[in-house]
Homo-oligomer: A and B are copies of this chain.
């Protein structure tokens, strides 16, 4: 039996979304795509490495899901609508069960967000997954990192710290109840890309980023690019019951401030009652405000300062 790279792509990765704007998809030297007039192209790429971006024992299905989810999260942070993906997959050997699981996780999420897989490359090598994702945004409406102004409020979607808590449990840095760990792990393995929130934020948010390296690190990109600072109120941080309990017991706010992998959106918007109500109705939580001084400070509600002493994850920090 001969089983080629071309068969592999066709066999495992044909069940993605069909889109009319795909002129040529997988199976030629390159894909050919129609970008509608009045729309700008939004492009992001992410590489996931075993043991770095997901624990080695992560299921193939969750790896497939997450490898697309992290790129969807980048598009969400730009206010872009997902459209087309390419996938570069390095695998040590042909493994039917693994490929079945991986492609299922990837393709189910692709269908959910109407993403067509238009190109790919499969090679033999240490497990490594690179997804490039293309989205569309009306001309001039992409949400940048550099638009935050003094007085803007700082918001996040969802809850913070769950993925970091799960990772700490998996790595035996914390001793967690197995039921709680299982629940938290869902957040680590299957983060929800906030595409709908990102689309809703067009024209509302002054700056936006997704929280992949940790809140302080990622909000730091907004404040650095915008030439501002921020004051955060710890007790306003949105937390799951599990993470709230952990912080109540440990006093360790860093799990919500510097642990990454939550893939929530952190964004700023003008302080305005109408916008505040709208964002609240979208499930967003106000966690602080933009200041003039070029640093991020964390306060308790009683006004006392909390020194985190840490920043977020960096692959090459020395």
Contact partners of A209 in chain B: CB under 8 A: 29
Query: Which chain A residues (5-47) contact chain B, with CB distance < 8 Å?
Result: 5, 8, 23-24, 27-35, 37, 40-47
Measured in the bound complex, the distance between the Cα atoms of B142 and A34 in whole Å is 12
Question: Which residue from chain B places its CB closest to the CB of A207 in the assembled complex?
Answer: B28
Measured in the bound complex, the distance between the Cα atoms of B208 and A28 in whole Å is 9
Which residue in B45, B80, B208 is a CB contact (below 8 Å) of A121?
A: B45
Contact partners of A134 in chain B: CB under 8 A: 41, 43
Instruction: Say whether A88 contacts B130, CB under 8 Å.
Output: yes
Contact partners of A84 in chain B: CB under 8 A: 43
Measured in the bound complex, the distance between the Cα atoms of B45 and A89 in whole Å is 11
Does A275 make an interface contact (CB < 8 A)?
Answer: no
If A123-B52, A125-B52 touch, whether A31 touches B43 (CB-CB below 8 Å) is yes
Instruction: Say whether B119 contacts A45, CB under 8 Å.
Output: yes
A116 to chain B, nearest CB (A): 11
Measured in the bound complex, the distance between the Cα atoms of B318 and A263 in whole Å is 39
Instruction: Say whether B40 contacts A33, CB under 8 Å.
Output: yes
Does A124 make an interface contact (CB < 8 A)?
Answer: yes
Instruction: Say whether B210 contacts A122, CB under 8 Å.
Output: no
Number of interface residues of A (CB under 8 A): 69
Question: Which residue from chain B places its CB closest to the CB of A70 in the assembled complex?
Answer: B121
A291 to chain B, nearest CB (A): 22
Measured in the bound complex, the distance between the Cα atoms of B89 and A5 in whole Å is 23
Query: Which chain A residues (76-94) contact chain B, with CB distance < 8 Å?
Result: 77-78, 80, 84, 86-90, 94
With A5-B314, A31-B42, A32-B42 given, name 11 new contacts (CB 8 A).
A2-B318, A5-B316, A29-B74, A32-B137, A32-B142, A43-B86, A45-B86, A45-B87, A47-B128, A123-B315, A132-B132
- 11 of the cross-chain contacts (CB-CB < 8 Å) are A28-B145, A29-B74, A30-B77, A31-B43, A43-B119, A45-B120, A45-B130, A47-B123, A47-B125, A52-B123, A124-B316
